[in-house]
Structure 1
Amino acid sequence: MKPFFKTFASLLVGFVAVTSCEKQTEEPTPVLTTDTSIFAKYIAVGGSLVAGYTNGGLYREGQLASYPNLIAQQAGVKFDQALFPVGQENGTGYWATTQNNTSTLFDKISDKLAVIATAPLTLTKYSGSVANNYGVVGLRVSDVNKAGFGNAKTQGFNPFYERILPAGKEETSYTDFVKESNATFFVASIGEQDLLSYAASGGKTSMTETSSFAINIQKLLDALVANKAKGVLTNIPSVLDLPYFNFYTFQELAKSVGTTDIYITTGNGIVRVATANDKILMEAISNVGKANAAGQKKGFSMAYPLTSEEVLDKDEISIIASRLSDFNGVLKLEADKRGILLTDLNGLYAQVKSKTYTVNGVKFDNSLFTGGFFSLDGINPTPRGSAVIANEIIKVINENYKNSLKTAIPSLDVSKFEALKVK
């Protein structure tokens, strides 16, 4: 078998030189460019994308490169974040790459963490005043109205939400917490995790129902505009286009491991040969061809197929695509009702996938290591990808709120941002 890490090595060689760039290390002093009447209280709401999760972890450098923070810098407005402090700046830990062709090409950065416990994950509490960035890693629309979602004593609590909640607020739902901000302007990206929980588990984890999604997003958006705030909401990109589900096609993988067919177990429990309409999860690639105690190679026969949790079969893919369309329909409908602007992230990600997105001479695609847009986890953007997203939202703000801006918000030079995390 052609190992996953060897594949990574071949892609990494010759690419390290183009990753040199400016890093977001500290918050710059804002230089006011906007009318404070609209940006008097600017907040960001949503999940991992808003929080700055990248390379499989949440850490200070990623937080600083979160797209809401980049917008704030360009607009010159105050935007506090629940940054991990110096000494714990690596947060949860994250993945990086080495610069040489050795046997260890992925390195897990595991020093200077803010992790108190791992089972369940518990993080050092943020002790500052309530931040402007309400991004919570792993947040689903189905979670936003749950009381106790940030209480460490509650089963299934979210440690990233628990970390930013002030003392005494442990039972406060995410929607109520956001409403207390009295924001005048917001950006919001939420809903992707409602699909990812299902997709990344190979269809094992249940997916949010459209009716539940609609009810919960209505309550969240009502809370955001309660103070007559202006805002921009992004729709949900297709998770099926992410590198995590597209590192290898089954045809490429079969050729790589020296076999004709690869056998999978579908969500219905049927064992069959994988086709071009199925996808393998990135973390399952290295399992293909591994021998069990009986000497059978995984995926090489009906007797020892890939499990359902390691793949997305064509029916599961169809379910995800249909639910994505439903969710985005709800987001557009509810945003329009409230006068909230919409940025088309789904369209942006489609351009990245089709290799048609270029800005300032920088080309992007959805290749995991060389595409520039996606980080090493195969799901979340690099700082450069976050800069691209920030620019798309800045365009929408400039086009629709130009009468509220002293000057147009300048776009970011995406070439200055990190495209591959190198240790």
Structure 2
Amino acid sequence: MKRNFYYFPLFLLLAFGACDGFYEFPEPTDADPSSGQVDFSKTIAIGSSVTAGVMDGALYNRGQQNSYAAILAEQLKAVGGGDFNLPDVNAEVGQYVLSPPGSNIGRLILRINPNTGAVVPAPIMPGNPLQPFEGNRSEINNFGVNGMNLAAALSPETGNTNAPSNPQFNLHYARFASNPGTSTLVGDAAAALANGGTFFLFWLGKNDVLPYALQGGANESLLPSDEDFELLYNTALESMLQANPDAKGAVGNIPDLNSLPFFSTISWNALPLNQAFASLANGAFGEYNQALDDVEQAGLISTEEKSLRRISFQPGLNGFVMEDKTLTDLRGMGIPSIRLSNPGDKVALTLATVLGEAVDGSPTAIRGVTVPVGDEYVLLPQEQEFLEEKTNTFNGVIQAAVSARNERLVLVDVNDFLNQVASGLVNAGSVPLSNSIIPPNGAFSTDGVHTNARGNAFLANYFMDALNQKWGSVIPKVNPNAFIGNDLPR
């Protein structure tokens, strides 16, 4: 069965369509560049994948050199900023960050499916596995590490190369850790700040909610408790502040995951069926639908739940069969907890690689039709509400932490910025920025999670706005239109 997701035309409309009410970044000023009340002579950045420069699902040269932190640091040179050294990966392709050990899957690019015409992310083969950093570790300025949550940033096991099977182990940190197995990411960044550092960027916390979301809410153990998050966050932030009592910093918060195209590129009704296949699929669910009628009549489920669980396909675009753990558990009666996807669900971009495919080559085992899509591919409405609550709570912790240290810190509301992008309110020179992966206007790289170079340029400008407003700096902004987005589909 061929897959055809029909989302490319939608994103062309988002990318090129007119939109009222754009938020314009301020025009270039005639004022002379000034550092204001901040010393930018040595900037240290600490964070997770966006700070590191992960793009297209991999850490590679172009992404690393065009992270928001690297772009910002380059602009700071006009107001006394110094060099901004990266733990270079020296890889043109990189290795896909979710690749299994020993694989050689590289970064993602957009490809056109020759059979369907659909545009989907696909990996480059082969990739470039991460290698140990060979430069001077004491001169590193960017301590952004892919996959880094707060607990990992404070744990020496994260860089313990003697125990790579440890679930906390992170090769992205171990490759440049000052003392693998003993040092921590926060400790290394704080030591760099103490060694002549004057200003820092702090953007940790995002990965304390993102992994749970990317796995479709299937594993709640990936989320810290509110109390643990507050303790870990303040511990990490205070470590940076104590490293140099005179240093000031900019702090990013956690984006609303609804603003990420990872959860909006694939539609809930992304399953195209012709009349013959729809009729054939409906026949496979005749007994299942009859069993729902029986349990409703027995009072075990409501009429509303029976309607939700009923599976019926039509010619054209359909919802797909998916697991739903929030349904009444009838498995003891041989009735699975499944239903068709609906507009309330958010579908992971990764579903594009498996939806409509035959499982193990069987012509009757079709993913999303006769084989339900697993929980890891869909965020249910209840999971979305839970994530929103967690994000709001954690952002409240971040807000309070910055407010308590107001003289030295400024909050950069990345959450608000990406929501503006998602609403079509951000542009530069009347050229819009959209929360899509489709070039040229898409802000996100092909993985649907990490901003691309053009998105990072806008983000760097947003940080500069916060610094200029807080401390009277005049940092010259970049022209986002000078930075490329994603490559055109091949």
One-letter code aligned to 1:263: V
Match of 1:350 among 419, 436, 444: 419
Q: CA deviation at 1:7?
A: 5.2
Contact 1:149-1:171 at 8 Å conserved across structures: no
User: Structure 2: how far apart are the matches of 1:101 and 1:148?
Assistant: 42
Q: CA deviation at 1:126?
A: 3.7
Q: CA deviation at 1:346?
A: 0.7
In structure 2, the residue corresponding to 1:75 is in which secondary structure? helix
Contact 2:156-2:180 at 8 Å conserved across structures: no
5 Å-filtered alignment, 1:373-412, equals: 373-402=443-472, 405=473, 408-412=474-478
From the superposition, tell whether residues 2 and 369 of structure 1 become closer, same or farther in structure 2 (CA, over 3 Å).
Answer: farther
Tell me the number of residue pairs that the alignment of Structure 1 and Structure 2 aligns: 390
Aligned to 2:3: 3
CA-to-partner distance for each residue in 1:102-145, whole Å, 9 max, x for gaps?
569756344682x2xxxxxx533343233100000111123222
Contact 1:244-1:282 at 8 Å conserved across structures: yes
From the superposition, tell whether residues 287 and 184 of structure 1 become closer, same or farther in structure 2 (CA, over 3 Å).
Answer: same
Q: CA deviation at 1:79?
A: 1.1
Alignment of 1:199 onto 2:174: no
Alignment of 1:220 onto 2:236: yes
In structure 2, the residue corresponding to 1:338 is in which secondary structure? coil
One-letter code aligned to 1:282: L
Aligned to 1:119: none
Structure 2 residue runs of 5 or longer lacking an equivalent are: 17-32, 96-105, 275-314, 328-336
Contact 2:264-2:347 at 8 Å conserved across structures: yes
User: Structure 1: how far apart are the matches of 2:466 and 2:373?
Assistant: 44
Alignment of 1:208 onto 2:213: no
Aligned to 2:87: 82
**Percent of residue pairs bearing the same amino acid type:** 26
Aligned to 1:418: 484
Match of 2:320 among 241, 253, 262: 262
One-letter code aligned to 1:369: I
Contact 1:357-1:363 at 8 Å conserved across structures: yes
CA-to-partner distance for each residue in 1:342-394, whole Å, 9 max, x for gaps?
01111111111111212222201212214420110010001000001100000
Q: CA deviation at 1:253?
A: 4.5
Match of 2:155 among 146, 155, 159: 146
One-letter code aligned to 1:399: Q
In structure 2, the residue corresponding to 1:264 is in which secondary structure? strand
Aligned to 1:68: 69
In structure 2, the residue corresponding to 1:250 is in which secondary structure? coil
Contact 1:178-1:223 at 8 Å conserved across structures: no
Alignment of 1:123 onto 2:137: no
Match of 2:145 among 136, 140, 150: 136
User: Structure 2: how far apart are the matches of 1:198 and 1:355?
Assistant: 27
In structure 2, the residue corresponding to 1:164 is in which secondary structure? coil
User: Structure 2: how far apart are the matches of 1:254 and 1:211?
Assistant: 46
User: Structure 2: how far apart are the matches of 1:239 and 1:145?
Assistant: 25
Q: CA deviation at 1:322?
A: 0.7
Aligned to 2:257: 239
From the superposition, tell whether residues 11 and 330 of structure 1 become closer, same or farther in structure 2 (CA, over 3 Å).
Answer: closer
One-letter code aligned to 1:363: P
CA-to-partner distance for each residue in 1:131-186, whole Å, 9 max, x for gaps?
100000111123222122111223121011001213x3432122222221213211
CA-to-partner distance for each residue in 1:34-56, whole Å, 9 max, x for gaps?
47971232101100010011111
Aligned to 1:108: 123
From the superposition, tell whether residues 255 and 277 of structure 1 become closer, same or farther in structure 2 (CA, over 3 Å).
Answer: farther
Aligned to 2:188: 177
User: Structure 2: how far apart are the matches of 1:261 and 1:418?
Assistant: 35
Give the TM-score normalised by the residue count of structure 2: 0.73
Contact 1:186-1:232 at 8 Å conserved across structures: yes
User: Structure 2: how far apart are the matches of 1:421 and 1:101?
Assistant: 16
Alignment of 1:368 onto 2:434: no
CA-to-partner distance for each residue in 1:178-235, whole Å, 9 max, x for gaps?
2212132111222222111111111223222221111111011101111122011011
Structure 1 residue runs of 5 or longer lacking an equivalent are: 17-31, 116-121
5 Å-filtered alignment, 1:263-342, equals: 263-268=321-326, 270-292=337-359, 293=362, 295-300=364-369, 304-339=371-406, 340-342=409-411
In structure 1, the residue corresponding to 2:373 is in which secondary structure? coil
Alignment of 1:163 onto 2:186: no
Give the TM-score normalised by the residue count of structure 1: 0.83
User: Structure 2: how far apart are the matches of 1:398 and 1:276?
Assistant: 42
CA-to-partner distance for each residue in 1:291-319, whole Å, 9 max, x for gaps?
44371433235xx3211122111111111
Aligned to 1:21: none
In structure 2, the residue corresponding to 1:43 is in which secondary structure? strand
Q: Which moved more, 1:329-338 or 1:255-264?
A: 255-264
CA-to-partner distance for each residue in 1:58-86, whole Å, 9 max, x for gaps?
1111111011111111111221111223x
One-letter code aligned to 2:249: G
From the superposition, tell whether residues 191 and 254 of structure 1 become closer, same or farther in structure 2 (CA, over 3 Å).
Answer: farther
User: Structure 1: how far apart are the matches of 2:437 and 2:45?
Assistant: 27
Q: Which moved more, 1:270-279 or 1:247-256?
A: 247-256
Contact 1:360-1:413 at 8 Å conserved across structures: no
The Cα RMSD (Å) is: 2.9
From the superposition, tell whether residues 129 and 37 of structure 1 become closer, same or farther in structure 2 (CA, over 3 Å).
Answer: farther
